[in-house]
Amino acid sequence: MKRRVVVTGIGLVTPLGIGTEQTWQALIRGQSGIGPISRFDASDQASQIAAEVKGFDPEAWFEKKQVKNLDLFVQYAVAAADLAWKSSGLSITDDNINRVGVITGCGMGGLPTIEEYHGVLLNKGPRKITPFFIPRVIPNMPSGHISMRLGCKGPNLCMTTACAAGTHAVGEAFRHIAYGDCDAAVTGGAESVICPLAVGGFSAMKALSTRNDDPTAASRPFDRDRDGFVISEGAGMMVLEELEAAKRRGATIYAEIVGYGQSSDAYHIAAPPEDGEGAARCMAAALRDAGLNPENIDYINAHGTSTPLNDKCETLAIKTVFGDHAYKLAISSTKSMTGHMLGAAGGIEAAFTVLSLYHGLLPPTANLHTPDPDCDLNYVPLVAREQKITTAMSNSFGFGGTNGVVVFRRFA
């Protein structure tokens, strides 16, 4: 019998702010975190815009000499995990030290470090490569550093499943607790690859928006004039706990996680099937796992990337699963404000979904001025909505045809 699992801590490091409250308030205001790329000279790139984390001070979490040995995605992950841990009030004791896990998601790891030290190799030779090169780039370094920082000796895993990685991490943490492999877990996603190689690579795939003259309007999910996603970075972490343990210590419970689904499109390396059937099977699997009917869902935080194919196919998938109820659902894409954080997206958007349940506030889909005729559902356009919801879903779909969906319920 599965144990019940709840969310007791949230930590966010995003282009909208450092910390959960700052990020959430900006999101609800419909504020964009997107602007011209400042990380490097992007003048020769087709896409010259990104959603960069601003005002992040790594020395708030690390000693100065340690900072240079950690890629940004690890720094963001540790900071978000620390914020989530503190908000949860959980502590490591002799009784639970082996029962608290860390399961994180990351799509691409330390690509900026790879780019930097490839240059070092070519220009200065192999003996000038730092011994920290490998530990800086491995995608599972967030889970390793978080475990060491907090003293968690339970399961330590990393999901590297492209843009579904953060969602898969949350879902796997849920299952590890539900089936007794651990009693609590720090989980979510982290990513930071705003660098010439990543931007150039995604541009070569025609995946990125080139609305360079109007960055804040560039990410426009479900809008007729969308032209691609905007690359982003950040980290979103949550603390999940077995319900009875959380209640015994008087923890604040933000929501309960009740379902997790996975599927494969088995179709194409980057494009979804035109009917969205893989995404539909994934949402249906999450509903089965939760023991819910389609009409029980009130809100979906959509994958909603602002690419022509994704938004149309996700809309079709929602209609397939929810039928007539699809038109009664509230749906929004927070990528319209945060950009697409790749492997971090699922962790951050799961946290947004939990906060929507907790506060009774639905984030808007920014820039949705002219809906695509093929995207005819209720996407909470432009302005946040006060609405008490009971059950919500968060979708993530990744290159390689990998899909992940998690379902949360308001805790009362």
Catalytic positions are 163, 303, 340
Q: Where are the strands (E) in 133-231, listed by range?
A: 156-159, 184-191
pLDDT tens digits along 118-133: 999 999 999 999 999 9
Report the C-alpha gap between 152 and 86 in whole angstroms. 14
- CATH assignment of 257-409, given 3.40.50.970, 3.40.47.10, 3.10.129.10, 3.40.630.10? 3.40.47.10
Number of H helices, E strands in the chain: 13, 15
Nearest to 322 by CA among 283, 291, 288, 353: 283
pLDDT tens digits along 189-234: 999 999 999 999 999 999 999 999 999 999 999 999 999 999 999 9
Residue 164 pLDDT level (bands cut at 50, 70, 90) = very high
pLDDT number for residue 412: 81
**Tokens 């349940």 found at:** 357
pLDDT tens digits along 352-410: 999 999 999 999 999 999 999 999 999 999 999 999 999 999 999 999 999 999 999 99
pLDDT number for residue 204: 97
The pair of structure tokens assigned to 75 is 């720094």
Angle in degrees, 0-180, between the axes of helices 277-290 and 308-322, rounded to the nearest 10: 40
pLDDT of 1 strictly over 80: no
**Taking the domains of the chain in order of start, what are their residue ranges?**
7-248, 257-409
pLDDT tens digits along 252-292: 999 999 999 999 999 999 999 999 999 999 999 999 999 99
pLDDT number for residue 369: 97
pLDDT of 237 strictly over 80: yes
Specify burial of residue 236 (Cβ count, 10 A radius: 0-12, 13-18, 19+): buried
Fold classification of 7-248 is Peroxisomal Thiolase; Chain A, domain 1 (3.40.47)
> What is the arithmetic mean of pLDDT over 232-245?
98
